[in-house]
Amino acid sequence: MKRFGPIFKTATYNRWNDVDKLVFLKASLTGDAGQLLWDTDEASINTLDKLTALLRSRYSGSRQTDKYRSELRLRRRQPGETLSALYQDVRRLIALSHPSLPQDARDKVAVDCFVDALDDPDFALKVRERCPESPDDALNAALKLEAWTKDAHERREIETSEFRG
């Protein structure tokens, strides 16, 4: 029930019964989880317990964490992708792939995964040399290095064009 926590807090506050909770949960489902309502026999989802059990069996457990761990292992920065977007996606995948890991351990894994996902060994080495303690530190180091590298390239281009001209 951990994943449905916000729904049940709302239900407690509003003094909803199980039928109210079921209706609200069904109305809240989107994407693949919402499609489950169309693909499933009504008798299999006509109570709160049945629906939450079906959702739990389909969307939780080791199969899902294994899937997210694989995605995390294979995650690489795409051409044109910002460092911030990469960082956010790595954080999302860390949370989904290691839900029971304590935060400090999760942060250590996130630093390594973020740096690996940079997909540029020289750039990754420069970020690692700064010994980031947290994912935020790794992002900040990468942002600074990227800005400095861009500035250096622009200066070289200006100097080269002045030399030619």
Q: Residues 112-160: pLDDT tens digits?
A: 999 999 999 999 999 999 999 999 999 999 999 999 999 888 888 877 7
Based on the fold, state whether residues 140 and 113 are members of the same structural domain.
Answer: yes
Neighbours of 61 (CB within 10 A): 10
Query: By the 8 A CB rule, do 137 and 114 touch?
Result: no
Same domain, 34 and 97: no
Domain extent at residue 24: 2-59
Encode pLDDT of 77-98 as tens digits.
Answer: 999 999 999 999 999 999 999 9
The 8-class DSSP code of residue 61 comes to: S
pTM of the model: 0.65
Q: 6 and 25: one domain?
A: yes
Is the same domain home to 51 and 69? no
pLDDT tens digits along 56-82 = 888 776 678 888 999 999 999 999 999
Domain tally, the chain? 2
Q: Which of 107, 117, 100 is nearest to 62 (CA)?
A: 100
How many CB atoms lie under 10 A from the CB of residue 20? 14
